[in-house]
């Protein structure tokens, strides 16, 4: 089993979400295109894929597995975020 590859800002995003009152479960170890985070906030459930906003845009593309998984998802909100602020905006904790 290989170690989960997480983006450099993964922990900062998780910390920001939890500080805002969200519950967060990392799914990064699942792999196969599954989004990085399962987030609950004020009755809503979201999935978040984290990309490193400090990398050039060409290094922030979704992988083939991620594109396939995201494309087949039939559930609720699924977002790609590149910073703690972007994650907070997705849950409505930051305007």
Q: Burial letters for 57-80: b for 16+ Cβ neighbours within 10 Å, e otherwise?
A: eeeeeeeeebeebbeeeeeeeebb
CATH class of 10-91: alpha beta
pLDDT in the model for residue 5: 74
Each residue's pLDDT, cut to its tens digit, for the chain (95 residues) gives: 445 678 889 999 999 999 999 999 999 999 999 999 999 999 999 999 999 988 988 888 999 999 999 999 999 999 999 999 999 999 999 88
pTM of the entire predicted model: 0.90
How is the chain split into domains, by residue range?
10-91
Give the other-Cβ count within 10 Å of 20's Cβ. Answer: 17
pLDDT in the model for residue 59: 85
């Amino acid at each position: 089993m290989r170690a989960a590859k997480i983006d450099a800002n993964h922990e900062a995003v998780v910390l920001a979400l939890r500080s805002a009152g969200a519950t967060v479960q990392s799914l990064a170890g699942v792999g196969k295109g599954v989004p990085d985070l399962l987030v609950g906030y004020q009755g809503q459930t979201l999935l978040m894929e984290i990309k490193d906003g400090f990398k050039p845009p060409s290094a922030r593309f979704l992988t083939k597995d991620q594109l396939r998984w995201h494309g087949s998802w039939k559930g609720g909100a699924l977002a790609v975020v590149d910073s703690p602020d972007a994650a907070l905006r997705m849950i409505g904790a930051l305007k």
